[in-house]
Amino acid sequence: MYDDILLPTDGSEGATEALAHALALAETFDATLHVLYVADSNRDSVTVVGDEVVDALEAEGESVVADVVERATAAGVDAVDEVVQGAPHRTIVDYADERDVDVIVMATHGRKGLGRYLLGSVTEKVVRTAPVPVLTVRMEE
């Protein structure tokens, strides 16, 4: 039923809650876990360190996905990771469509802040536009 599971992550507590569910599904169905971090192209994140141009969001994303892949591997789950630039909800939906994933697992809330309320929930937009089922995970109080 589920061969490929997509876990979009931003490193938040909500994403950690979603990871537990994604791992359980992957273990049950012997599925591959796709770990995706979207460096929001709507935010300015490029800086210069020494002589090198560094994208802080991409660097953070590499760290976040490496941690998730390490946890998946420790649980015996095959995992692939990707860090990409883009508009988060559109990039998540496009990734799911292009990679033929079977289900998307994501938190109902990610990072906090005024921007989340002004721009709308990434999860809500994914639920409305995804070509596959979306399992939403609420954070425990």
Give pLDDT tens digits for 92-121. 999 999 999 999 999 986 555 444 444 448
Neighbours of 39 (CB within 10 A): 21
- Average pLDDT on 68-81 reads 97
What does the pLDDT read at residue 108? 85
* Confidence bin at 55 (pLDDT 50/70/90): low
Cβ neighbours of 1 (radius 10 Å): 8
Span of 17-26, 39-48, 100-109 with lowest mean pLDDT: 39-48
Closest residue by Cα to residue 105 from 71, 76, 73, 130: 130
Mean pLDDT in residue range 26-42 = 91
% helix, strand, coil for the chain, step of 5: 45, 30, 30
Instruction: Count how many domains the chain has.
Output: 1
CATH number at residue 80: 3.40.50.620
Count helices and strands in the chain by DSSP H and E runs: 5, 7
pTM of the model: 0.84
**Strand extents, DSSP E, 13-123:** 32-40, 46-49, 52-55, 79-86, 103-107
Residue 76 has pLDDT above 80, yes or no: yes
pLDDT at residue 72 in the model: 97
Q: Structural domain of residue 41, as residue ranges?
A: 4-137
> Where is 101: in which H helix or E strand?
none
- Judged against a pLDDT cut of 80, whether residue 135 lies above it is answered with yes
What type of residue is 80?
V
